Amino acid sequence: VQLVESGGDSVQAGGSLRLSCEISLYIYSSYCMGWFRQAPSKEREGVARISRGGAGAKYADSVQGRFSISRDNVKNTLLLQMDNLKPEDTAMYYCAADRGVCPQLSRPEDWIYWGQGTQVTVS
């Protein structure tokens, strides 16, 4: 199982980025997918999650209306479109997967598979 994030960069406040996560999971469509982030000296926090079929996206209050999660079950990819970025969005961003019903964003410990992360810096 391998999850590989990309797309992180340094941008100015108000800018946009799109993060991608390529996933090598047998029957990718059977997995709930999520994005998390962790800033230095802070705990890992859930950003967004999307169910197996692509419906029922959930977002953290801090990114609601600015971020959009989507998935392509043919290409085995997960995306996170981030608009109107703020300095407080600066963090390492991780994609995560769990088979079946989506775990809560507030409980990263319940997610099974993780990528290595991609850095987003907003100044």
* Structure confidence by residue, pLDDT tens digits, 28-82: 778 899 999 999 999 999 999 999 888 789 999 999 999 999 998 888 999 999 9
pLDDT of residue 7: 98
Q: Is the pLDDT of residue 25 over 80?
A: no
- C-beta contacts of 64-69 below 8 A and 24+ residues apart: 67/35, 69/33, 69/34, 69/35
Whole-angstrom Cα distance, residue 89 to residue 121?
7
Closest-CA residue to 17 (of 71, 103, 89, 75)? 89
Contact 1, 99 (CB under 8 A): no
Whole-angstrom Cα distance, residue 96 to residue 49?
9
